[in-house]
Amino acid sequence: MTSGSLDARQQCPPGHLVSGSRQHARAFSSSCLRVQLKVDGTRGKIGHVPDLLRTAPDEGSREALDRARTFAAGGRELGEARAPVLLRRRVGAARAPAGERVNAPAPTVTAQPWGHTPRGEPVTLYTLSAGPLSAEIMDYGGVIVRLLAPDRSGTREDVVLGHDRLEPYLDRATSPYFGALIGRYGNRIAGGTFTLDGQTYQLARNNGPNALHGGPGGFDQQLWAGHAHAGPAGAVLELTRRSPAGEEGYPGTLDVTVTYTLTPGGTLDLTYAAHTDAPTIVNLTQHTYWNLSGDARRDILGHRLTVNADRFTPVDATLIPTGEQADVTGTPFDLRTPQRLGDALAQHAAHPQLGHAGGYDHNLVLSGGEGQSGDLVHAATLHDPQSGRVLDVHTTEPGLQLYTGNFLDGTITGKAGRRYDRHWGLCLETQHFPDSPNQPAFPSTVLRPGERYASRTRFTFGTAQEEGALTG
């Protein structure tokens, strides 16, 4: 099957669709967007959705065209079918009854204008759909604005915190990294300074005495170039950006590509790649606040979390690692078996490490991640017993920053007028360790010319059949 593509430089109103069926790929467009169309390997016409709706040569194409009609009517699919109840399986993996054929919708991508940056640059919101999942991602900050995943009954709801419009994302007071790409350096650097090859670099101190998440003008506050396409493997959004030498104080020009892939099998894959023309430091991550309850209807204290980590990096009062990699046994960070977050926070409320951050805001050293072989290792499993939703995280990174939304205080109103109070979301940030440039015993974050930065993280969505129990 062939596919069409959408480019951020070519604006497209909602309702114009890139889609395909098992044997046909169709790209729907108007003159505002150039999209190649191929049917059975033959180049076809570029047409407007209403014109194409009049022709449907076979059942697969009619199915794609029906979905195009719903997009044309309102920008998103209507009357979504409920997924089957799953028993600790990836969503979308259910088998059809004997003799029944399942015609799963082909992956699709749409794009629509979503306002302008303070510099007047147009922002594009992409909608990726594949299998049971749908994600809205914008090219400003690479933000995951919305991600719909089914609960145990098949009801799809949003599982990330954020806003319904662009403007709140432009200010960290109203969007503390909601859903954003983080760089050049995710997490904290002590004193906002580091030394590389004998030269000392000073960064902005935007988190007390320290640098945090790339500084005031980090990657979350930048417009990226977007290119999206859909095919059999999934719906894909590729974001690229050149970070010039000296931006936020970092040396070297850094060319970065981050690829989001939503697959029919119920996964969201993130691939990071970068190269530089001068020695620099790089630590990229994704700062989505997860809440599996659905549409953020309650806090995450009832979620159960497992982290595949035997050690963690203790921090000082400013949340900078001390350099130690401590055993988790007997500490709040022993999450090797499922722990209800509310119980863990209450039980260890007097622990000095939780006192420093008002909860969890710590790096855990992933077991099996030390070798940096490039293979995905299991990092964490998050489960909301009430909805049945399960999120599994795999990564090539050696660490995972667990942040339980300690600094949310109810002053931010998010999507659908929902107020985000303390512990209303949690972040699972795959990463190298905080302050690695100043910690020789930590895995290196130095990138040199001729080397290539490469990192992968996979988020797999599923459900558990019964409340309070995961089954294999």
**3-state SS record for 111-170:** EEEEEECCCCCEEEEEEEEECCEEEEEECECCCEEEEEEECCCCCEEECECCCCCCHHHH
Residues 108 and 235 sit within 8 Å (Cβ to Cβ):
yes
| Amino acid 5: pLDDT | 52
Share of the chain above pLDDT 90, in %: 74
Q: Considering the chain, what percentage of its residues have pLDDT values greater than 70? A: 75
Distance CA 436, CA 199 (A): 16
User: Residue 103's pLDDT is what?
Assistant: 58
Give which of 220, 214, 212 is closest to 190, Cα–Cα.
Answer: 212
> What would the mean pLDDT of 4-26 be, rounded to a whole number?
39
- 465 pLDDT band (50/70/90 cuts)? confident
> Which residue ranges make up each domain of the chain?
1-79+102-106, 167-463
277-313 tens-digit pLDDT = 999 999 999 999 999 999 999 999 999 999 999 999 9
pLDDT digits (tens, 9 = 90+) for 90-136: 333 333 333 334 457 899 999 999 999 999 999 999 999 999 999 99
The answer to whether 443 and 430 have CB atoms below 8 angstroms apart is no
Topology classification of domain 167-463: Beta-galactosidase; Chain A, domain 5 (2.70.98)
State the pLDDT at residue 369: 65
Q: Is a pLDDT exceeding 60 seen at residue 14?
A: no
Q: Tell me which of 213, 287, 362, 394 is the catalytic residue.
A: 287
pLDDT at 467: 56
Model confidence at 170, in pLDDT bands (50, 70, 90)?
very high
Query: Residue 432 pLDDT > 70, yes or no?
Result: yes
Contacts of 240-249 with C-beta under 8 Å, sequence gap 24+, read: 243/183, 243/184, 243/219, 245/277, 245/278, 247/184, 247/217, 248/184, 248/203, 248/204, 248/214, 248/215, 248/216, 248/217, 248/218, 249/192, 249/201, 249/202, 249/203, 249/204, 249/215
The whole-model pTM stands at 0.80
Q: Kindly indicate the confidence band of residue 49, based on its pLDDT and cuts at 50, 70 and 90.
A: very low
Mean pLDDT of 167-190: 97
Distance CA 106, CA 90 (A): 18
Which is catalytic among the residues 63, 77, 136, 429?
A: 429
429 flagged as catalytic: yes
Higher pLDDT, 101 or 460: 460
* pLDDT of 363 higher than 70: yes
Residue 105: what pLDDT? Answer: 84
Question: What pLDDT band is residue 64 in, cutting at 50, 70 and 90?
Answer: very low
| pLDDT higher than 80, residue 48 | no
Answer yes or no: is pLDDT of 34 > 50: no
Question: How does the average pLDDT of the chain come out, rounded?
Answer: 83
Mean pLDDT of 143-169: 98
Distance CA 32, CA 10 (A): 7
At residue 272 the predicted structure's pLDDT band, cuts being 50, 70 and 90, is very high
- 229 carries an active-site annotation: no
pLDDT score of 445: 98
Q: What is the mean pLDDT of residues 34-56?
A: 31
If pLDDT is split at 50, 70 and 90, which confidence band does 203 have?
Answer: very high
Residues 463 and 152 sit within 8 Å (Cβ to Cβ): yes
Give the confidence band of 374 by pLDDT, cuts at 50, 70, 90: confident
49 phi and psi angles, rounded to 5 deg: -50, -50
Q: Is the dihedral of CA 308, 314, 317, 320 positive or negative?
A: negative
Beta bridge partners of 454: 273
| Token output for 108 | 């699709």
Residues 6+ apart with CB under 8 A from 355: none
pLDDT category of residue 69 using cuts at 50, 70 and 90 = very low
Distance between CA atoms of residues 212 and 240, nearest Å:
22
Identify the band that residue 65 occupies on the pLDDT scale cut at 50, 70 and 90.
very low
Least confident span in 32-46, 215-229, 317-331: 32-46
d(CA 27, CA 15): 12
